[in-house]
Homo-oligomer: A and B are copies of this chain.
Amino acid sequence: MDHARIDLEHLLRTAGLRVTGPRLAVLDAVGTHPHAEADQIIAAVRESAPRVSHQAVYDSLNTFAERGLLRRIQPRGAVARYESRVGDNHHHLVCRGCGLIRDVDCAVGLAPCLTPANRHGFTIDEAEVIYWGTCPDCADRRTGAPPHELRE
């Protein structure tokens, strides 16, 4: 618990950011709720710090995403989600049925598809891969109960 807090403090300081209660709470919440959306993070933060404003959470999330402390993912048709696993070039599996997101490592290697056929003069620094499909639960559900939500 406490040494985790020390780690988060260190993370903030090395990023040149001030250490504050709301920020520690946001970092902690993102760590314990991978792929959560802003709403869920606000709720999680308020469990330990009820007086934190939604604005502070958004500010923190944006700042952290900007500085690379966490990663924002936003599948089409969905709201933004956040995760603390950064810098390891992993990708995401998204269920078209229920929106479930899972992490996956790419089969090709550490930097998959980083070389498109024609880079049009761009300097490329990241390849983001989203695999679209159906999760096991939704596949089962399709033969019985009606689907969930987030249909496309």
Contacts and interface: CB of A to CB of B under 8 A. Distances in A.
Interface of A: 65-66, 72-77, 80, 91, 93, 95, 102, 104-108, 112-136, 139, 148, 152
A93 B77 contact: no
A144 to B, nearest CB: 17
B123 A139 contact: yes
B126 A102 contact: no
B76 A72 contact: yes
Contacts of A105: 116-118
A127 B129 contact: yes
B126 A133 contact: yes
B131 A124 contact: yes
Contacts of A129: 113, 127-130
A128 to B, nearest CB: 4
